[in-house]
Structure 1
């Protein structure tokens, strides 16, 4: 090998567990605090998007998951972003969107007549849950094309690259898998393969080991596999994914379902919740999302040798311990020398990762009353989704301080903290 060569769904479990307190984390090598200069990102502009959750950008357009569909924002004029449409999509629990060229992928976790807490989902073969595909050659007028069905629990996260859709089939936890889908004809998506952790590592057969998210780059797919850490697959042949590396597995990942596995899922010592490699592929950034005990930070792994990956740094979460909401990491964006992060109630932050071993915080945006799902870099701005309220376009030099004018997290439909 060369160096480069229980049936209960998670959202139902969250209803059972409820909102838990959060405390701070410690790590191997924490990101340095900002310097003495003006380190506050400025609010350049904003646009209300009721129900806002994940946002992805493509040049002058932004696409936002809204719980029961998605919204499209035109920001050709960054000082006057305009929501040009809000569109209902089949199913509910829509928290994930991805775009590549003229194709938009919108993932749904539940049907219009979803099951209640503690009830088995109805595996209706006609249910429109899974990942929905839209033609966005005219972004203001999306055209529904098809649905790649994933029954019975739909899709929380997916990734879209060229003609391939990577679907993280998270639930039921004991049936979790990465599904690789050919979308070269988006009116007829075709499954090419699926990769199941337990088939390769039977010793890791546990409801605590499930694929929560996926990021594809080049010949590799990087899987955030919760307690089983990050698994890297060679997908150069999409019909036959092959594992080439793994790292960040928790010490309890091989305990199966003994004891209280749900406590292991939702509490410390953490997990692999979101993963993204650096553009050159030499480092992988892995965010944890925890619900009790230590709040999840972001670990940095050197993977220049897939046979011997090494953790080289960790950016710690803040210890706010507000007793209600999270200060744990969520989705982030990695460029060649910057890391753009969202920390739920603990704001959005930018880190200089020119030296990945020593990440240094350079800017932050942390207004009262906001909670952030996503932070992405586009066109010289940091675009963040304020949960339930909308988008904020941030700039290092231009704009004003302070919170956006729209209401935030309390207004989000179909949203539960920790998804």
Structure 2
């Protein structure tokens, strides 16, 4: 019988590793206080090209398209790095920074699209358009669509606010956590309000065309127990990605309570009649420890590449989306995973705080990477909000 364990083909240490995205033979990694660039032309010997401090703090998200890199920051209080003006207002450092990466070994800062007061946790970059999930403060959450055709001068095109369209969903438990754009549509992970699909063919006038996966009680408003509801299952639409043909949408839930969140599969071939057809449930591999929940994943035509914090990275056959079947996994002791993406025939995962692992179904060795990751899932942004 064929071994179902993914093999470690290559690894590279990246301090503070969180989100990873790839373009060609380059990987870009969010590091908390900036970003790193990894050259993996040889996936057996990936090399850390360098790390760059970016303005602001809490940098957990990076996106790349073509020669443009988007780096999102959630805060502005930090020690000024080389080349930064110590007299610059910290507010000017909050938002999404744009870098020219025509030469990935020498990223060039271009501009910042400012998002106040609490910055950007996640964004998505497609061509000349940047989609920003303005998550916090929760009562000001919105999707912001930005024209970056001139990345030195980004310009807001529009913003979409759930409560403007659905006043009954005005609740601190309903906020946009992430966004994925494909074709004419933007898919929003809107926490307890589920997934919202917008037609963005005219980016100056986004229009909701479908909604699904809303949690029971999403219209309860603030009843004094909202913090328990924010962190608890059901609900918590955290990450969303459609299949390449757009017929199915995968929605992951991130929870910090008794029951960890899984990934739900929706058939959206008819936007007027979306239907849940499957659910991949979280596995309780660490009894009494909360982070077995789903995090970021990647969808191809017939495979789903997933990260589950302390419960490993797993690959599912989704040839039949209604019946996902696990085919491979990678779950070494001492690792926690932020991202799993498919690139160049490899599963690329970011081991939180430690670095990148390049995994293959057939080639490589069994075992954990040599760098030191962390078992502690970073939740600084959630704790900060709770303490306010």
Q: TM-score normalised to the size of structure 1?
A: 0.87
The aligned residue for residue 220 of structure 1 is: 185
Q: Give the Å deviation of 1:41.
A: 0.2
Question: Is 1:88 the equivalent of 2:41?
Answer: no
Q: Deviations over 1:238-282 (max 9, x none)?
A: 000000000000001000111401111001113210000000000
Question: Is 1:50 the equivalent of 2:10?
Answer: no
Q: How does 1:245-324 map to 2 (within 5 A)?
A: 245-324=210-289
SS for the counterpart of 1:185 is coil
Q: How does 1:124-163 map to 2 (within 5 A)?
A: 126-163=91-128
**Is the Cα–Cα contact under 8 Å of residues 92 and 108 in structure 1 kept in the other structure?**
yes
* Pairing partner for 1:77 from 42, 50, 70: 42
SS for the counterpart of 2:92 is coil
CA distance, structure 2, for counterparts of residue 293 and residue 73 of structure 1: 37
**Is the Cα–Cα contact under 8 Å of residues 266 and 291 in structure 1 kept in the other structure?**
yes
SS for the counterpart of 1:199 is helix
Q: How does 1:385-400 map to 2 (within 5 A)?
A: 385-400=350-365
Q: Give the Å deviation of 1:410.
A: 6.1
Please tell me the root mean square deviation across aligned C-alpha atoms, in Å.
1.7
The aligned residue for residue 302 of structure 2 is: 337
**Is the Cα–Cα contact under 8 Å of residues 340 and 349 in structure 2 kept in the other structure?**
yes
The aligned residue for residue 230 of structure 1 is: 195
SS for the counterpart of 2:237 is coil
- If asked which structure has higher relative contact order (CA below 8 Å, sep 6+), I would say 1
Question: Is 1:209 the equivalent of 2:174?
Answer: yes
The aligned residue for residue 9 of structure 1 is: none
**Is the Cα–Cα contact under 8 Å of residues 309 and 377 in structure 2 kept in the other structure?**
no
The aligned residue for residue 187 of structure 1 is: 152
SS for the counterpart of 1:370 is coil
The aligned residue for residue 405 of structure 1 is: 370
SS for the counterpart of 1:198 is helix
Gapped regions of structure 1 (runs ≥ 5)? 1-35, 115-123
SS for the counterpart of 1:409 is coil
Q: Give the Å deviation of 1:324.
A: 3.2
The aligned residue for residue 352 of structure 1 is: 317
Gapped regions of structure 2 (runs ≥ 5)? 80-88
SS for the counterpart of 1:127 is helix
CA distance, structure 1, for counterparts of residue 223 and residue 379 of structure 2: 32
Q: TM-score normalised to the size of structure 2?
A: 0.94
* Pairing partner for 1:240 from 205, 212, 218: 205
